[in-house]
Chains A and B, each alone.
Chain A
């Protein structure tokens, strides 16, 4: 498209194409544009460079690793270094493809995997719900706080990230164990007579995941609620709507994008979570991340664990794509 390199004025009302829009957005970033200028000086086509860089990034750091994992999942496990047979090999009579579907078959046959997937989805869903129930009031309070308070409050939400994730999860062991802080407090208050067994149960995992991922729920919700026009609530009150009802008919529907974003940010990493169920969960808490870890490091079955990972990605990505599609269709229908 040679004419693209010629400066021209586009007619009024002509919508930029998707690539052009991407181009304008990227080139507006000063760091990125400086980098582009450098590459253009080296003799590369400017437009091509601008659009190619993010795609190259995605390709190298996302698509390529995924393809490696995908390739691994179709190979056969052996006791060797590396511990799998190559997918393609040159033998007598040309190229052989050793396509092995056994790994996927095993995932279906052994109900450990199915249970792991379902358990992970359940635990992630319940934890996401808790994070939403706790995070929404916090984000709401932050968004309604006086302007000068908001930055410090935001800081407090982000503050836990300054400490190692592992240490924070370990700290919960000290709180939740039988002779831990929580039981000590409840016993001394006389609320319970016997220490509660929380550690090494699913409840401890819910607590751990909800606690660890709460900021990921609060931040998008806060960003959403902060933009909410509070005069809408005044308008609702003015038209005879009580505050509690206005919350459900005005605030919540308008916060849906924030709720969806926050829930995805909590749910997706929570499904694959490995550290929290390992440290806080019991032997009965099977989650797919933990199963994957065992297959990979203890059984050294790289092909099987790759298959587990591929299915996990499909389980997470397919519903998201479908949801995005239906939302786009809804938007278009309006």
Chain B
């Protein structure tokens, strides 16, 4: 993909992993080759090939039923692929049962053993490996410190809050220092504030221990915040694998653009396309200029994807109203504090949503219901999608 210069290299708080996925010489740590899983005749996972590199925080993102959990369970060994192969650190996992894999999992329900104390739960994995008990005690202590659960070692799971259970589950999965940690919707049961705090803690812990994380989530914000790269899945297939920034700014299809964040799609036909820029004619939005070539022949139907925050909103017509301009009427305003989201109805009845940062305190709304507004955007603000 060209034009990666605009995409951020890594999200906030990420280790400087580099970008092994852009390095042809880098050896993938986890290698999925043409993996298919059928339940009866239904392919839950359909011919997926994927490389994940050492030290990555990799997200599998998609709506429920897209096959992301099945893919995770195949990595853990709870499901066997109908076709294809899975390799971890160069070893084919086909014949390796779950209890012998160098992989640990944090379950969505946490799956804490209800009859064991917190310390026994965390130490369970080491006891299976017949580690000496003073060593187990030491490492359990270490883990309790890591997940900030000092003093709760003797509690039973039913005496813990949701957030504490989540930490115990994480500590239990981390104590064996697995080559790969799988997390199945790890933060799904937490409230919003706790979830956001835990996201950063997870990233910090991953950075400290250097373990490769693969996380399943349906929460795109979560995936954006934490991952080095993410795979957007849909109906058993991967639509796009890229860094969060690339997925947001350069989605490769309408499905991805609409799944990640809000987007306005303007349909049109390619009028001309050169290396310096392209012109698209849209029946809804007039003539659209973009700053790069379109990977579609002249006359083909394409979509210009514009995120709500890419527009600038004015109450007066811009000087050059012929270029990248939409005129319409505000029919709804959502004040979010930091942002205001305007829902604008165009002359032809189509609706566009626009987000605008509230740079000054709003005493009276500069733009309100029923106002006539003009929306403009830079030629580089949108991305042209061909499918």
B156 with A334: CB separation less than 8 A:
yes
Chain B binder among A16-24, A237-245, A280-288 = A237-245
How far apart sit A236 and B77, CA to CA, in the bound complex (Å)? 13
A238 with B109: CB separation less than 8 A:
no
Q: Does A253 contact B (CB under 8 A)?
A: yes
A239 with B109: CB separation less than 8 A:
no
Q: Which residues of B contact A253 (CB under 8 A)?
A: 115
What distance in Å separates the Cβ of A144 from its nearest Cβ neighbour in chain B? 15
How far apart sit A5 and B98, CA to CA, in the bound complex (Å)? 61
What distance in Å separates the Cβ of B114 from its nearest Cβ neighbour in chain A? 7
How far apart sit A220 and B111, CA to CA, in the bound complex (Å)? 23
How far apart sit A229 and B128, CA to CA, in the bound complex (Å)? 20
Known interface pairs A231-B107, A334-B156; A237-B113 also in contact (CB < 8 Å): no
Q: Which residues of A contact B76 (CB under 8 A)?
A: 234, 238
Q: Which residues of B contact A238 (CB under 8 A)?
A: 76, 98-99, 103-105, 173
Known interface pairs A239-B104, A239-B125, A240-B176; A234-B115 also in contact (CB < 8 Å): no
Q: Does A40 contact B (CB under 8 A)?
A: no
Q: Which residues of B contact A239 (CB under 8 A)?
A: 99, 104, 124-125, 128, 172-173, 176
Encode B93-119 as 1/0 by CB contact (under 8 A) with A: 000011110011101010111110000
B124 with A236: CB separation less than 8 A:
yes
How far apart sit A334 and B154, CA to CA, in the bound complex (Å)? 9
Q: Does A235 contact B (CB under 8 A)?
A: yes
Q: Contacting B107 at CB < 8 Å: which of A234, A242, A250, A254?
A: A234
Q: Does B129 contact A (CB under 8 A)?
A: yes
Report the contact-size class of chain B (Cβ under 8 Å from the partner).
Answer: 20 to 34
B113 with A235: CB separation less than 8 A:
yes
Q: Which residues of A contact B109 (CB under 8 A)?
A: 229, 231
By secondary structure, the A interface counts as helix
Q: Does B78 contact A (CB under 8 A)?
A: yes
How far apart sit A238 and B106, CA to CA, in the bound complex (Å)? 9
Q: Which residues of B contact A243 (CB under 8 A)?
A: 99
What distance in Å separates the Cβ of A331 from its nearest Cβ neighbour in chain B? 11
A235 with B107: CB separation less than 8 A:
yes
Q: Does A232 contact B (CB under 8 A)?
A: yes
Q: Which residues of B contact A234 (CB under 8 A)?
A: 76, 78, 98, 105, 107, 111
Report the contact-size class of chain A (Cβ under 8 Å from the partner).
Answer: 10 to 19
What distance in Å separates the Cβ of A255 from its nearest Cβ neighbour in chain B? 10
B99 with A235: CB separation less than 8 A:
no
B114 with A242: CB separation less than 8 A:
no
Encode B11-42 as 1/0 by CB contact (under 8 A) with A: 00000000000000000000000000000000
How far apart sit A235 and B129, CA to CA, in the bound complex (Å)? 15
How far apart sit A254 and B113, CA to CA, in the bound complex (Å)? 9
How far apart sit A234 and B98, CA to CA, in the bound complex (Å)? 8
- Whose C-beta in chain A lies nearest to the C-beta of B156? A334
Encode A320-334 as 1/0 by CB contact (under 8 A) with B: 000000000000001
Q: Which residues of A contact B97 (CB under 8 A)?
A: 237
- Whose C-beta in chain A lies nearest to the C-beta of B172? A239
Q: Which residues of A contact B172 (CB under 8 A)?
A: 239
How far apart sit A254 and B112, CA to CA, in the bound complex (Å)? 12
B113 with A250: CB separation less than 8 A:
yes
B128 with A240: CB separation less than 8 A:
yes
Q: Which residues of B contact A240 (CB under 8 A)?
A: 99-100, 125, 128-129, 176
Encode B299-337 as 1/0 by CB contact (under 8 A) with A: 000000000000000000000000000000000000000
How far apart sit A91 and B272, CA to CA, in the bound complex (Å)? 126
A229 with B99: CB separation less than 8 A:
no
What distance in Å separates the Cβ of B132 from its nearest Cβ neighbour in chain A? 16
- Whose C-beta in chain B lies nearest to the C-beta of A253? B115
Q: Which residues of A contact B98 (CB under 8 A)?
A: 234, 237-238
A232 with B111: CB separation less than 8 A:
yes
How far apart sit A243 and B98, CA to CA, in the bound complex (Å)? 10
B111 with A231: CB separation less than 8 A:
yes
Q: Which residues of B contact A236 (CB under 8 A)?
A: 113, 124
Q: Contacting B99 at CB < 8 Å: which of A242, A254, A334?
A: A242
- Whose C-beta in chain B lies nearest to the C-beta of A256? B115
Q: Which residues of B contact A (CB under 8 A)?
A: 76-78, 97-100, 103-105, 107, 109, 111-115, 124-125, 128-129, 156, 172-173, 176
Can you report 9 residue pairs joining A to B where beta carbons are below 8 Å apart? A232-B114, A234-B76, A237-B78, A238-B98, A238-B103, A239-B99, A240-B99, A240-B176, A254-B114
Instruction: List the 5 closest A-B pairs by CB distance, nearest first.
Output: A239-B125, A240-B128, A235-B111, A237-B98, A231-B111
